[in-house]
Structure 1
């Protein structure tokens, strides 16, 4: 059903469901480019190990990582995996810094210009990747890519703009579907480049082709947003003071202020307390979840002898399960059922990690992985929908940015702690302790009285 459009001069703010699919398409293009690098990481690390100068950045990082590997007792052949994990944590930490800032700026200038700035930065990071004949340039590309990744929180804010309370769960489910499809198809594209490009003998520029392919997706995304994305935040609903937004920049990157949602103004005390509690539940959940998710590749290889191809198929079916559930169920969920679904999803993740931690055969492992996928399809979109209920129209970008930032901080820290635990006390203890830790987010959200209750 198309809702009325609001016009202000040349600006047209769209209030119909078609914008949801435009936002979804833009996010999907970005995620396809973003995820295709994941299976290429081992080959890229091997490339820089062989080709980076002796005094280059790669060997400096490798020496530091080697001390960490020895400290936690990880086998030598996992150095490249730990290296990739360290880069992933750096990328997530940069998202933690940039997401609330991008959201706050979009509350002042509108979603479209800030979104385009983010996409241009992402495209430039792929340009640097294409010419990254040294590891230092590759790291610079990842840094610029991480600092430009505010487009995800902006997409969530725009989805909130164009949805009503009744359709908001559907909009956030579309964001979840974009992630699921992106993490299914993108790695397959990357795996094809890894198989047919990275193994080419004597070709020291094999990575240029996947980098240019990622760049083509990023450019297509920019052109798509320019031509199809219409501003979703009407000028009359924007934050009025740029100076006030810039003055809040310190609170955007202050961890204590992030957890307090200090940058969100004019919230009643009860609403602020609810939002803070919701943010803490989300952070703890993703902190434990992301750490165990990261070590899952260690466990399947170590305990079950999974090859990279079998691991790829495992993640393919996980992503497909999430996409089907989010597209066929979560997207159609009524607002009053969102919290209940999030609570059920948080409950399901507990037996999921018990099953994975205790798995002595592949059937139990697959049961745990299936529950893992079902839980993921419910928790993140539903909790994001709950958070989107707070703040006025002029601060939805800030709320979504801070919420996204909390998730990015959790994903930056979780894999580090989980890796230390995995190699220090073993997979079974790590997963069982993690499952116990996940009781707290479930119980806390279950007891929490929220705006929609």
Structure 2
């Protein structure tokens, strides 16, 4: 701000609305996006590496800890209490899957608590420092898994991971810092593409590493060690390659002309009265504080209303969608059992495929389609169009899964789910970033993620209960009806 005494009377609030930084240059933006892509791929491959191993890991600890008073056996006791609530008995072969779902819900609940805190830290101290702190927590989490000789240490590793995982959230804030509104959608699609590629590579790598023999005290030390190596490599890479991007703290943002200069230019123009409701006597002149504050207050109200709508849509979308994702192994196993019993002892060669293998094929197909969509179509469409497309596709998949009686029908529904995976969450983050002020981007995106994680935490529990209490047809029909409500909100409320 100029030192001129006349210009020093400009209020701080007025100055904050006048000074606005510009996005990074094209070369700086490309370099940062390249760094983010490599970082996210390393992080997400490490994150998804454990996903197919959950049943085996939990089964390993279950066989290892035979004492009735062990932590894992106490957990199974409460799980059996939960199962006994249902009129339709749940076979004990699903216990490990249910426990894996409980771990997923725990992780999401911890993320719901941690996301706003991580967002605020990135606003106050910078994206780079927040990301490095998050990576330090991830290193501790995976390090605990490497040394998890009993179930309690394994639980500790998941708790630490849930509280520290903020890489994707901070990546969204960084993309918001370095891109303008026209670039935002295509840049956000990059995060979704990294997710899809990681879900193709990570689970396969995890399954391969699980078959390599290691120490007797921790059968999965090899998979955990590779996961730790990927996170450590990512941390080193980010430390040396990623600059600070927060507009207040970065070096490459151009703050534009000083606020006082803009005020001087404004004062040199004729002060023309502005007619209010057709009455010149109620008019204010250019630069009047009340006339400038009114549009600003309206903008703040509109932004807060849109932020609230986005948080609710994120919550009520992920609540049924996460339940659907969690139910796919149950549905695959049910259809597999029905087909095997119908074919009898002379089952064909296709029946030798296990439910896990069938589910793995389904997830790989969905990941491949989602990554192709994000690299071609999604990045070119406005966020609101992507959200509308995704929630409609999700609704269709719910009603299809309520009626399918073969794996081919599940694959058709999986194509619609791939469209949903490629569009909705990434575009919700993109839409949320468009109205976020520079100093609040981290906390706004953190709150938005927090509401979605609540849906991810509650959805599997509610949907699983409905699946086993009323049957899969009722569960998927109910999910479809909930999604119709989400579709209505997306088409009428979101702007």
Q: Please classify the TM superposition score into its range, dividing by the shorter chain length.
A: 0.7 to 0.9
Q: Distance in 1 between matches of 2:494 and 2:52?
A: 42
Which of 379, 385, 404 pairs up with 1:331?
A: 379
Greater C-alpha radius of gyration: 2
Which residue number corresponds to residue 170 of structure 2? 154
Which residue number corresponds to residue 196 of structure 2? 180
Which residue number corresponds to residue 402 of structure 1? 447
Which residue number corresponds to residue 74 of structure 2? 60
Q: Distance in 2 between matches of 1:14 and 1:443?
A: 41
Q: Do 2:210 and 2:222's aligned partners in 1 also have CA atoms closer than 8 Å?
A: no
* RMSD, matched Cα: 2.1
* Deviation sequence 1:230-284 (CA, Å, 0-9, x none): 111133589xxxxxxxxxxxxxxxxxxxxxxxxxx99711211111012101110
Q: Distance in 2 between matches of 1:237 and 1:445?
A: 35
Q: Which runs of 5+ in 2 are unaligned?
A: 1-21, 252-296, 338-353
Q: Which moved more, 1:221-230 or 1:382-391?
A: 382-391
User: SS at 1:133's partner residue?
Assistant: coil
Q: Do 2:244 and 2:250's aligned partners in 1 also have CA atoms closer than 8 Å?
A: no
Matched, 1:220 2:233: yes
Which residue number corresponds to residue 34 of structure 1? 47
Matched, 1:302 2:331: no
Shift of 1:340: 1.9
TM-score with structure 1 setting the length:
0.86
Which residue number corresponds to residue 154 of structure 2? 138
Which residue number corresponds to residue 405 of structure 2? 360
Which residue number corresponds to residue 321 of structure 2? 289
Q: Which runs of 5+ in 1 are unaligned?
A: 7-12, 239-264
* Deviation sequence 1:120-167 (CA, Å, 0-9, x none): 110111111111111011000100011111222111111111111111
* Deviation sequence 1:163-208 (CA, Å, 0-9, x none): 11111001110110111111111101111123444xx8x9442211
Distance 1:441 1:4, change over 3 A: closer
Shift of 1:71: 1.9
Distance 1:170 1:209, change over 3 A: same
Number of residue pairs matched by the alignment: 410
Q: Do 2:310 and 2:494's aligned partners in 1 also have CA atoms closer than 8 Å?
A: no
Off by >6 Å, runs of 4+ in structure 1: none
Q: Distance in 1 between matches of 2:107 and 2:336?
A: 30
Which residue number corresponds to residue 292 of structure 2? none
